[in-house]
Amino acid sequence: MKNIRYILLCLVLILGCVLAFAACNKDTETDESTKDTQAPVADTSADSETAPAATEADTEPATEEATEAPTAEEATQAPVDSEPVGSGDDSEPGDDDTVYDPEYYVVIRTAEDLMNFNQQTNELDEDGYPVNDFFEMTVVLTADIDMTGYDWVPLNGMALGYVTFDGKGHTISNLEILHDPAPGTPPAEIGAGFVGVATDDLYFKDINFDNCHVTAYERAVGNLVGCVTNGYMSFENVNVTNFTVDGWMDYANQDRELDGHPISFRSAGFIGHIMAAGSSAEFINCHVDKIKLSGFHNPAGFIGYASAAVDEYCFENCSVSNAEFTFSYCMSDSYTVDMPRKFVSVFYNGAQWVNNVQTVIDNGNTYSSVSYFDWTDDNKEYTAGEFLSWTQEEADAAAAA
């Protein structure tokens, strides 16, 4: 019995040792596990001084990408080659970065472009009609055009029905206009200018002409339009400077080579002659400066002679300045010394031989430094005030005589 107790006691002691050993081993594993878990934390703490540098390096590409992103304004701005009104695939952008549809626009970028357009309007078929028709098209200037070295044959108005010339504020300069009609040419077909003879409405806006010259041997000369046989001429924000007309023509069988007399007539800064009674013209914010016109009679700043319904209401905020008009009407026996008052004027010459200068001024237009010279009287000079034309009473008396 005593032995059994001894054996049991030994078993209990052995079991206790086993349990104690197991518990000790478990603690050791826990310590090792805790030790492994805490190591990364300890490493992170040890590297904390270099962490900001690593973060900056990591975020640097993102910063550059953010800088290159478009701003809100850039994001809403249309690209340069976005499709504007009237754009087309077959055209090229002009200096204003606009794409123009060739079906509706003729784009003039260079002197060569302008000469090409000139040739197209003057190309005729076997019956004498234009081959090319620019009906209702717009001729756009995208740059200043210097025509030095080119001879300008006036544009054929029959190809330009209802055409708009939009200068975009640009200038055509140094235009040498040719004007030498064949003998026997009907007056209705004679006209010299940027456009020769207009047969339908034309519109000019935001365009300037500078230093243009014509040697004229016949009637109807204007810097923009020589003669209007039909149509309404509209001009807005158009300026003519340094326009010269040498109005020479064979007179009394005197050859040109013998210094013929200046008897070409109906010349002006804008339109030489409006023939049709139903035609007219409008000028808004248009100016003539530094022009010299010589000829038989009917020089003026804007219209040499208007058979049509032109009056002071056709002019709005317009001016004539620094103009010299040389006339030679007295070479004809049918004219008298009173004729200058009928056949020269500041703004336009009309069918009514009465004072139209003052009425145009009263409508808000101006003139300054305008002089007239009588070529047949040693270039005797007259002021514009001496050429305000007849009073209505004088006109009535002359008509009754």
Whether residue 54 is contained in a domain is answered as yes
pLDDT for the residue 364 = 96
pLDDT for the residue 340 = 55
Single residue among 76, 93, 116 that ends a domain in this structure: 76
Q: Which residue has the higher pLDDT, 57 or 102?
A: 102
Q: d(Cα 367, Cα 282) in Å, to the nearest integer?
A: 18
Whether residue 139 is contained in a domain is answered as no
Q: Is the pLDDT of residue 30 over 90?
A: no
Q: Which residue has the higher pLDDT, 220 or 1?
A: 220
* Number of Cα atoms under 13 Å in the Cβ half of residue 31: 6
* Same domain membership, residue 346 and residue 219: yes
Whether residue 35 is contained in a domain is answered as yes
In angstroms, how far is the first alpha carbon of the chain from the final one?
Answer: 181
Whether residue 84 is contained in a domain is answered as no
Q: Is the pLDDT of residue 143 over 80?
A: yes
- Alpha carbon separation from 211 to 174, 215, 257 (Å, rounded): 5, 13, 26
Whether residue 42 is contained in a domain is answered as yes
pLDDT for the residue 384 = 80
pLDDT for the residue 129 = 93
Q: Which residue has the higher pLDDT, 20 or 142?
A: 142
pLDDT tier at 341, thresholds 50, 70, 90: low
pLDDT for the residue 43 = 38
* Same domain membership, residue 355 and residue 238: yes
Q: d(Cα 345, Cα 372) in Å, to the nearest integer?
A: 9
pLDDT tier at 386, thresholds 50, 70, 90: confident
Whether residue 7 is contained in a domain is answered as yes
Residue 27 belongs to domain spanning: 2-76
pLDDT for the residue 265 = 86
pLDDT tier at 332, thresholds 50, 70, 90: low
* Same domain membership, residue 202 and residue 337: yes
Q: In 3D, which of 173, 163, 166 has the Cα closest to residue 205?
A: 166
Whether residue 25 is contained in a domain is answered as yes
pLDDT for the residue 231 = 94
pLDDT for the residue 299 = 92
For 83-108, what is the mean pLDDT?
Answer: 64
* Same domain membership, residue 202 and residue 57: no
Which segment, 251-255, 304-308, 377-381, is predicted with the most confidence on average?
A: 304-308
Q: Is the pLDDT of residue 69 over 60?
A: no
Q: How many domains, in total, are found in the chain?
A: 2
For 304-330, what is the mean pLDDT?
Answer: 90
pLDDT for the residue 46 = 35
For 46-65, what is the mean pLDDT?
Answer: 37
> How many CB atoms sit inside 10 A of residue 103's CB?
10
pLDDT for the residue 234 = 98
Q: Is the pLDDT of residue 246 over 80?
A: yes
Q: Is the pTM of this model over 0.75?
A: no
* Same domain membership, residue 317 and residue 207: yes
pLDDT tier at 330, thresholds 50, 70, 90: low
Single residue among 47, 76, 105 that ends a domain in this structure: 76
Pairing state between β 380-383 and 366-374: antiparallel
Single residue among 59, 76, 93 that ends a domain in this structure: 76
Which segment, 17-31, 52-66, 101-115, is predicted with the most confidence on average?
A: 101-115
Whether residue 158 is contained in a domain is answered as no
**Average pLDDT score over the chain:** 78
Q: Which residue has the higher pLDDT, 278 or 322?
A: 322
